[in-house]
Amino acid sequence: MLNYINYRMKVTLADGRTLVGTFMAFDKHMNLVLGDCEEFRTLKNKLKGAAASVKEERVQKRMLGLVLLRGENVVSLTVESPPPAHEVEGLGNMGPGFGRAAGRGLPAAPIGIPMGLAAPMRGVGGPAGMLQPGQ
């Protein structure tokens, strides 16, 4: 099922309706999410007159949008068309160069030991009373 994500799918439901939309997600219960979904219903009207057994069929189409289908109602799933090709028109020209992070206006903080966690400077914090030679 994962291979069919973003495909245009045709789903037949238990009540006879047909939904066509972009297959976006599914789960273990076979619940489906369809995007840009359209519903197709076939309505059968009896013709008045001599031929009462003849029925006229017409298809009613309705735009639904984003649809969540309960897996219990799904009868069949058919591929209508593959996903659209990726558009690369919006990308810039490829060529030599290198990427650099955008500046934020402030210099980066120096990497080091945070203040207060470092050891005291030389000559500070040692035992008092002893003179160091050479002074």
User: Does residue 108 sit in helix, strand or coil?
Assistant: coil
Q: Provide mean pLDDT across the span 25-33.
A: 95
* Residues ≥6 apart with Cβ < 8 Å to 81: 7, 8
Lowest mean pLDDT among 24-28, 38-42, 104-108: 104-108
Query: pLDDT tens digit string along 82-105?
Result: 988 876 665 666 677 777 777 777
pLDDT band at 126 (very low <50, low <70, confident <90, very high): low
Domains and CATH numbers, the chain: 2-47+54-81 (2.30.30.100)
pTM for the complete prediction?
0.58
CB 18 within 8 A of CB 37: no
Query: Average model confidence (pLDDT) for the chain?
Result: 82
